[in-house]
């Protein structure tokens, strides 16, 4: 008989399953897989919202690759928000690797600078902008690591400011301020490229 898993479990249930899974309970991972895949698909849809339908990296491939990386990591998960913050970073790395590969294939294809400004304003990404985002986030990390992490979590995972505050252990006001400052920093970086 097939086990039916709850996709819309609450935060506490999800966190309990994360902790049990990390302690070796494979059934707990099975319990949260539908929630994990559902959220990862939502993140991937956000990443690919403005892409052409024939894009070389499909959302399903991104979800599957991110999932494989996440379940093989030995991390003491704090809660759902922490898990998806790490997922955001993993998706960032996957997208950057793919974008760099695609960029090399095009041999000098230019990345649009204006579209990233639009992307930031709309909180959605284009794969062609990922290389530029990576470059700017790397510059920001050198200046303010926390602000870079906060923007990464917002941009790639789509967590709310409240969820980001919980993951980072800072106030909601700090997250909102860092997001505003980061968007200004990124816009300034783009204008200076």
Quickly list H helices, the chain: 11-22, 26-48, 59-71, 80-106, 113-122, 130-143, 145-152, 161-168, 172-191
With respect to residue 37, please indicate whether it lies within any of the assigned structural domains: yes
DSSP result, 130-141: HHHHHHHHHHHH
The whole-number mean pLDDT for each consecutive block of 10 residues of the chain, a chain of 193 residues, reads 47 87 88 85 70 63 85 83 83 78 53 41 50 82 90 81 87 95 87 77
With respect to residue 3, please indicate whether it lies within any of the assigned structural domains: no
With respect to residue 131, please indicate whether it lies within any of the assigned structural domains: yes
- Indicate whether this model's pTM tops 0.85: no
Between vectors from CA 39 to CA 10 and to CA 90, what angle results, nearest 5°? 120
User: How many domains are there within the chain?
Assistant: 1
With respect to residue 76, please indicate whether it lies within any of the assigned structural domains: yes
With respect to residue 152, please indicate whether it lies within any of the assigned structural domains: yes
Distance separating alpha carbons of residues 77 and 115, to the nearest angstrom: 35
With respect to residue 168, please indicate whether it lies within any of the assigned structural domains: yes
With respect to residue 2, please indicate whether it lies within any of the assigned structural domains: no
The domain in which residue 36 lies consists of 11-191
With respect to residue 16, please indicate whether it lies within any of the assigned structural domains: yes
Could you read off the pLDDT of 88-101 as tens digits, one per residue? 888 878 877 777 77
Could you read off the pLDDT of 52-90 as tens digits, one per residue? 555 556 778 888 888 888 888 888 888 888 888 888 888
Per-residue model confidence (pLDDT) at position 181: 92
């Amino acid at each position: 008989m097939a086990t039916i898993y709850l996709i819309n479990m609450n935060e506490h249930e999800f966190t309990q399953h994360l902790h049990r899974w990390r302690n070796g309970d494979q059934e707990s991972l099975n319990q949260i897989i539908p929630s994990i895949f559902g959220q990862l698909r939502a993140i991937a849809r956000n990443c690919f919202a403005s892409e052409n339908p024939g894009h070389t990296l499909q959302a399903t491939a991104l979800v599957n690759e991110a999932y494989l990386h996440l379940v093989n990591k030995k991390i003491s998960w704090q809660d759902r928000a922490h898990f998806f913050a790490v997922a955001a970073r993993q998706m960032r790395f996957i997208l950057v690797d793919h974008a760099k590969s695609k960029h090399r294939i095009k041999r000098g294809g230019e990345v649009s600078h204006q579209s990233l400004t639009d992307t930031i304003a709309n909180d959605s990404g284009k794969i062609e902008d990922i290389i530029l985002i990576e470059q700017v986030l790397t510059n920001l990390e050198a200046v303010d690591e926390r602000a870079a992490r906060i923007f990464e979590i917002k941009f790639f995972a789509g967590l709310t400011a409240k969820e980001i505050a919980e993951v980072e252990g800072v106030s909601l006001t700090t997250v909102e301020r860092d997001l505003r400052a980061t968007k200004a920093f990124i816009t300034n970086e783009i204008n200076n490229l």
